[in-house]
């Protein structure tokens, strides 16, 4: 018998959810991402980064639209049956998310948590359903390497040298259809923890892993404490895009608080690319990074029976080109969503 929808507050920002499942997932990526270790998991891999579009920003819009369309069609839905869309991206004024809304025409809530935008959208969408609101919600996020480089750093045509700590913004999009009609044996959204802004004073825009690691540890520890669980209760705790620099920092921060998460800790930015062959330095990043990795690889591992219990804790660096040029530090945030195979 399906559990009636509901929510239970477990602590500040942490909620136990009832009656929320995942109907379908979809992920579309660029050619570099398709050549990586997860290439066989994605629904579609573009042959080039432009995909026939006039600009990289238009390509990001096409990427997001394609992932969302695949997810909705796979669920056997018409767009009119999607009661709300929650989405985010990295571009000014959320132009990818908002311009996509011109086509699907559904009630739209744009969210921004930088590279943690997907888990924010997924968590909020699940809360809307559990709270007795819409029964069908689409959560999505997207990013494009060249659009993000142009906005946050320098146009790639300048040929500047990337630092070893720099991450590679993924050309990727992922979409999840959340439902109150939980499919038998499907994936269930069990709990969410919305993150706090954590700032340890890091100011280097080419080292996002160090900036976001404290926020990742903070949210993961808060989620474990509020839900009464231990790291070993999960098959994996997967951060968004801390990369090779940030993952050990997050593990050390948790260790100093008395919790050992390293044995089950992994990272979407490390899973997405082969760092030895693909020249991504620290690893992958971007709003589309965790969105694509979850909706392709992580969801498949859960549905296939390899894993049963996952905590997805995507991280975001809350800065802008203006703030870091003015000498401001780079705050971080992490939103976590707990998912179990039913």
pLDDT 10s per residue in the chain (342 long)?
Answer: 456 999 999 999 999 999 999 999 999 999 999 999 999 999 999 999 999 999 999 999 999 999 999 999 999 999 999 999 999 999 999 999 999 999 999 999 999 999 999 999 999 999 999 999 999 999 999 999 988 887 766 555 544 556 566 777 899 999 999 999 988 889 999 999 999 999 999 998 888 889 999 999 999 999 999 999 999 999 999 999 999 999 999 999 999 999 999 999 999 999 999 877 777 877 788 999 999 999 999 999 999 989 999 999 999 999 888 897 899 999 999 999 999 998
Query: In sequence order, what are the beta bridge partners of 28?
Result: 44, 173
Helix (H, G, I), strand (E, B) or coil at 146: helix
CATH fourth-level superfamily of 187-341: Stage V sporulation protein AD (3.40.47.40)
Three-point CA angle 281, 113, 16, nearest 5° = 115
Helices (H), the chain: 31-34, 56-74, 95-104, 117-130, 145-152, 208-227, 243-256, 268-272, 287-293, 299-303, 321-325
Residue from 243, 20, 234, 270 nearest 122 by CA: 20
Instruction: Say how far apart CA 291 and CA 268 lie, in whole Å.
Output: 9
Domain residue spans of the chain = 19-179, 187-341
Helix (H, G, I), strand (E, B) or coil at 28: strand
- Looking at residue 220, what is its pLDDT? 98
Q: Both ends of the chain: CA-CA distance in Å?
A: 12
CATH fourth-level superfamily of 19-179: Stage V sporulation protein AD (3.40.47.40)
């Amino acid at each position: 018998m399906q559990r009636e929808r509901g929510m239970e507050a477990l602590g500040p920002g942490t909620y136990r959810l009832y009656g929320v499942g995942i109907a379908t997932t979809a992920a579309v990526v660029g050619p570099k991402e398709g050549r990586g270790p997860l290439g066989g998991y994605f629904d579609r891999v573009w042959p080039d980064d432009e995909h026939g579009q006039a600009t990289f920003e238009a390509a990001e819009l096409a990427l997001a639209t394609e992932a969302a369309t695949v997810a909705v069609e796979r669920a056997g839905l018409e767009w009119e049956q999607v009661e709300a869309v929650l989405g985010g991206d990295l571009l000014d004024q959320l132009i990818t998310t908002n311009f996509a809304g011109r086509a699907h025409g559904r009630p739209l809530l744009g969210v921004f948590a930088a590279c943690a935008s997907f888990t924010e959208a997924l968590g909020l969408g699940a809360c809307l359903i559990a709270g007795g609101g819409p029964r069908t919600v689409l959560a999505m996020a997207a990013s494009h390497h060249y659009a993000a480089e142009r906005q946050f750093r320098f146009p790639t045509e300048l040929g500047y040298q990337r630092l070893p700590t720099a991450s590679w913004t993924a050309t990727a999009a992922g979409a999840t259809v959340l439902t109150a009609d939980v499919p038998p044996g499907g994936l269930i959204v069990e709990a969410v923890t919305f993150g706090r802004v954590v700032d340890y004073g890091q100011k280097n825009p080419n080292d996002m892993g160090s900036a976001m690691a404290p926020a990742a540890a903070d949210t993961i520890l808060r989620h474990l404490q509020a839900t009464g669980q231990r790291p070993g209760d999960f098959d994996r705790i997967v951060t968004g895009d801390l990369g090779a620099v940030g993952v050990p920092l997050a593990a050390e921060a948790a260790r100093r608080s008395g919790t050992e998460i390293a044995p089950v800790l992994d990272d979407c930015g490390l899973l997405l690319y082969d760092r030895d062959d693909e020249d991504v330095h620290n690893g992958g990043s971007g709003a589309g990074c965790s969105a694509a990795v979850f909706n392709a690889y992580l969801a498949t591992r859960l549905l296939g029976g390899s894993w049963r219990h996952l905590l997805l804790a995507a991280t975001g660096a809350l800065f802008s080109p203006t703030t870091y040029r003015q000498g401001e530090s780079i705050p971080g945030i992490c939103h976590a969503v707990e998912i179990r195979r039913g």
